[in-house]
Amino acid sequence: MTRTYLDHASTTPVVAAAVEAMVTQWGTTGNPSSLHASGRGARRVVEESREQLAALLGARPADVIFTSGGTEADNLAIKGSYGARRGDGRSRVVISAIEHHAVLDPARWLASSAGAELVEVGVDPTGRVDLEALSRAIDDRTAVVSVMWANNEIGTVQPMAELVEVAHRAGIWAHSDAVQAVGHLPVDFAASGLDLLTVNAHKLGGPVGVGALLARREIGLQPVQHGGGQERDVRSGTLDVAGVAGFAAALQLAVTNQVAERERLESLRAGLLAAVLAAAPDAVVHGPSDPAQRLPGVLNVELPGCSSDALLLLLDAAGIDCSTGSACTAGVAEPSHVLLALGRTERQAGSALRFSLGHTSTRADVDALAAALPEVLSRARAFGGVAG
């Protein structure tokens, strides 16, 4: 069976340029922290990749801290900010209610285990953060504010400039998880005014296991792990030279093709939506209707009378890969915290699917969903709807 992959927001296939860059490095040996010639060669690759990433993201090379991925970068941003600033009496952490678990869970851990006061700011029915509520949540006791640039489940893009302005008026460090945004939207670290920004390789055609936290050099983050201090004495661990090179190559391609790819994905998304509405006219689309306020390749739809788990399994049997939400929480029998934050009930949230497009997506993928969905919906409704 030929499979149709509609889960690019979870991970997307590695691009050829990244494979080539990694294969080249896998054929060489050298720890980038070693002083001999082989080590210096590895260090040169790391630093050239750092410079490339910085240039593509509007940052200084010294701002780029390589990590093992987005989760580590988010943990470093949230825990490192709190640890650095709580000595100044700043013990509050403010996040949006629809953050990825890589931000949500570290923030909740700080509240339960490290004495932090956590405030989760609500969003409107399209997923946009309530700026007035954000302003009320922050004061001179706040260490860091974290709001994701674009949501992984519903695609909502946040008004970053306004959010940063609100934070900086109170002298608060501003962080954004931009894992879903980078490569799909214009992301300029310096222009955004952010103090911290998370990026990841495998969401844009690079390898799994490498990411970066962009952190203004002036910020003295507290390390969350200790060892060799390879990255600014903030992040320890031997760097994956091949992964870093693949990350830079993938980001270069994604940024170069960004405008044309956005238009292409918007067209394919429109086709997906038409296919869903043809099969289920009562479907509810989550997220903004304005293309300027959402990611081009994410479509989250609620299909009344169906269980999202049943839909997922039936589509899987039909050769179509999609998601019930964040891949990090797949398999957990709980409604999406993102959809609940929009005001959906548990029953409604339990009827939602996410289809996400990427660089390998084609019209054939849209046609495959259109062909399979009517029968899948019929069978899912025969199984019965969501309990509750």
Residue pair 247/201 in contact by the 8 Å Cβ criterion: yes
Tens of pLDDT along the chain (388 residues)? 789 999 999 999 999 999 999 999 999 999 999 999 999 999 999 999 999 999 999 999 999 999 999 999 999 999 999 999 999 999 999 999 999 999 999 999 999 999 999 999 999 999 999 999 999 999 999 999 999 999 999 999 999 999 999 999 999 999 999 999 999 999 999 999 999 999 999 999 999 999 999 999 999 999 999 999 999 999 999 999 999 999 999 999 999 999 999 999 999 999 999 999 999 999 999 999 999 999 999 999 999 999 999 999 999 999 999 999 645 554 556 889 999 999 999 999 999 999 999 999 999 999 999 999 999 999 999 876 554 4
Catalytic residues: 328
Instruction: Report DSSP letters for 186-227, one per residue.
Output: ---HHHHT-SEEEEESTTTTS-TT-EEEEE-TT--PPPSS-S
Q: What is the CATH number of domain 16-256?
A: 3.40.640.10
Same fold across 4-12+258-383 and 16-256: no
Helix (H) or strand (E) holding 120: strand 117-121
Contact assessment for residue 120 and residue 95, using Cβ atoms and an 8 Å cutoff: yes
Q: What is the rounded distance in angstroms from the CA atom of residue 203 to the CA atom of residue 32?
A: 25
- Total residue length of the chain: 388
Cα separation, 102 vs 26, in Å, equals 30
| Pair of tokens at residue 249 | 């190559």
User: Taking the domains of the chain in order of start, what are their residue ranges?
Assistant: 4-12+258-383, 16-256
Q: Are 354 and 299 in contact (CB under 8 A)?
A: yes
Q: Please state, in angstroms and rounded to a whole number, the distance separating the CA atoms of residues 276 and 268.
A: 13
Q: How far apart are CA 185 and CA 150, in angstroms?
A: 9
What global pTM score does this model have? Answer: 0.95
Dist. CA 372–CA 232, nearest whole Å:
51
In sequence order, what are the residues at sequence separation of 6 or more whose Cβ sits closer than 8 angstroms to the Cβ of residue 247?
Answer: 18, 49, 53, 201, 206, 207, 210, 211, 212
Homologous superfamily (CATH) of 4-12+258-383 is Aspartate Aminotransferase, domain 1 (3.90.1150.10)
